[in-house]
Structure 1
Amino acid sequence: MSKSLQAIRGMNDILPEQTPLWRYFEGTVARLLDNYGYRQIRMPIVEFTELFKRSIGEVTDIVEKEMYTFDDRNGDSLTLRPEGTAACVRAVLEHGITGGGQVQKLWYVGPMFRHERPQKGRYRQFHQIGLEVFNLEGPDIDAELIVMTWRLWGELGLRDAVKLELNSLGTSESRGRYREALVEFLSAHVDKLDEDSQRRMKTNPLRVLDTKNPETQAILVDAPKMADYLDDESRAHFEGLKARLDAVGIPYVINPKLVRGLDYYSKTVFEWVTDKLGAQGTVCAGGRYDGLVEQMGGKPTPGVGFAMGIERLVLMLEALDKVPEELSRQVDVYLCAFGEAAELAALSLSERVRDQLPNLRLQINAGAGSFKSQFKKADKSGALYALILGDDELAQQVVGFKPLRGQGEQQSIAWDALAAHLATCVVQG
């Protein structure tokens, strides 16, 4: 017997029962970004491998162990994108839309791919909403990104479940001085470090600060602090960011061990974290990457951005019971028609109602069936109301109107009055 076909481990189907919540979340974010003046960009999910080696860094975990990389028929090395910033930078460079100091405020949504050990909230195909801003270098735009996410948490009912952590990595020069001091400190304790931290100490020492190993964390308590090595410009930038967050009233904590996992970050880095998802605590993260565009062949261009994980935030909405009640039903009104003449009238009537109420979710019964079977399908649809159209209703040009989710008797509504009646009842329902 042949093996049954199934999805690749860590790459999940999002079923019809789940997509309403996804659409609600994505729609909420899209409206928010529109209101702040951001425009959507769409990039391919496959890029040349060199793009990620040059941007993310060849000695990062992503490039070394996690990327889905393959040779195509032309012999080119291609990679399924593991994150969105590099692809977005490639796109703005290729099309010249940041030249001459043009400010670009962009956002994107879509799948990313990393070969990790799948667990709740961490998958091999995962989805992100990302945002990138180019040619603005002050702390005001850093603050705007954080303020927007704070507003989003408020709209979703998640403010009490998340915490903002901040740090500054300084310029590449100040970070280089700090790296030297950190390596000197780690070298004095190398025998006590876990194996992964010993490897990172030689390739990407700042990532040692991000270790989850408790013994290594205990050693790092006495490690040099990045704040002591910041240049004056970075320090002023960070103070400006904090002043703006204080002005808006957004609470935060300074986390000196926050370094992010990608090489291109500089100055501001931040994470929104939660304790509601177990080990997978980061739901949104980002920071500034002023040297990345130049590193990828462009002119010096300030950049800042963030990405949020859709899977994790959807899980949070479910775990905290923040799913809007209306998402539990996909239909507002279910129209039952009995007999061919009634079916024809139902089609015409439903389209007239849709013209007048374009946001009404109206489903017509398909496949005919008895009175009992059609009402069973109406109830299963989750509709608030059933409409009934048979020979008697046709003769009188009325439609039966029956509440399905509460008190109320069935009544007859004239066809010309149906749209107005539904507008009132569905809003009240």
Structure 2
Amino acid sequence: MTAAFCIVGGGISGLVAAYRLRRLVGPDASITVFDPADRLGGILRTERVAGQPLDVGAEAFVVRRPEVPELLAELGLAASQLGTTGVRPLLYCGARLHSLPAETVNGIPSSAASMRGLVDDDVLDRMAAEPARPLRWLRGGDPSVAEIVGDRFGNQVVARAVDPMLAGVYAGSAATIGMRAAVPTVAAALDRGAPSLTDAVRAALPPATGAPVFGAIDGGYEVLLRALVEQSALRWVQTTVAAVTPDGRGWDVRDDEGAHHRADAVILALPAPRFAPLMTQIAPRSAAAAARVSTASSAVVALAVPGGTPLPQRSGVLVASGERLHAKALTLSSRKWGRVGNAELLRLSFGRHGDSIARNASDDDLLAWSLQDLRTVFDIEVDPVEVRVQRWLDAMPQYGPGHAEVTAEIRAGLPPGLAVAGNYLDGIGVPACVAAATRAAAEVAGWVSR
């Protein structure tokens, strides 16, 4: 009898799970993906802006992690991997532009000297003296980033160095993200007995190889998504799943149109806010844990501006907390990736945990704020050639203190034949999503083969 697998959710996690399953179970198995969106890919979405591909969701992956380069190689796409041009971002702080501090770990500085010009002199003195202060660190603990950095270096460092980084990654802040999620290597150094935060950050600094930290895909993430769909030979059912219930040793998956689909195993590749209500009856422990994961919403305004617009040779601008800008970050995409066209592409990102900008601001408001912020930051007037607005509602999970325990609880509460994948589990970036999806595929394939 041919095995049947259902995957609920057609984002990158669901598509990687489908591809991995196909590799594990062979060509005869049935793999069905349920997703009601107008296209597969979730928060990976490539649009044409002024005739050029531009990712309006996640745009990059960390090259040091092996998952995406290895996946691209498997799919025959290794030659499509792009590196950045090497230009660095700027930091908007105190109503002016600064060079982003060097030798930091997700914004946490490794020296007082790197923060000169960004914080007050008494803060610099505090940072310089930090290695001599007694450190209280509970091995295995997971306080918020703000709790540790604020205590050791001061709140100006949190607002002006750390928050800009975490706003870009999580649409959150140092107060909403735990140390083990944001800076696991720093937490590990502290666990090993680093005597100060300064020493822990220095121990966690990656080697300076000169190689790009971030990668992208020539043609945008749609190139990867298309290859995953094709090579997994999945069947896409463009509906929402209303219920998953036991059916003997397998599962009955009912969609919102009333159709029933029999599955030997199911992978739930959904955002946490959708996973929790779906699992309330059959996996209440998992549902309760997932409900503890809060989320943020964000919006991206993609602009094509005329070639020759006087933009700096930088990859973008991160914005410190408390600045009088609407955007939390500006990406100069053409400068960052070296793409040449008749127009230059840039993106402005809006929305942080706890605000309603992405949900409630109109497209006209977002565009007006984008043009105003460009005028404020770069002192230029921009007349866009083309504009795209993309909203990602409740798409950014907040990896709060103790998040690893939440993830363990989600997985432990699932009955056999169900597995979970998604960006709220082991990391918000694409590499972590690939890893979680690979794990889920292996779990359900192993279950069915018993």
Q: TM-score, normalised by structure 2?
A: 0.21
More helix by share: 1
Pick 1 or 2: higher relative contact order, CA cutoff 8 A, min separation 6.
2
Q: TM-score, normalised by structure 1?
A: 0.22
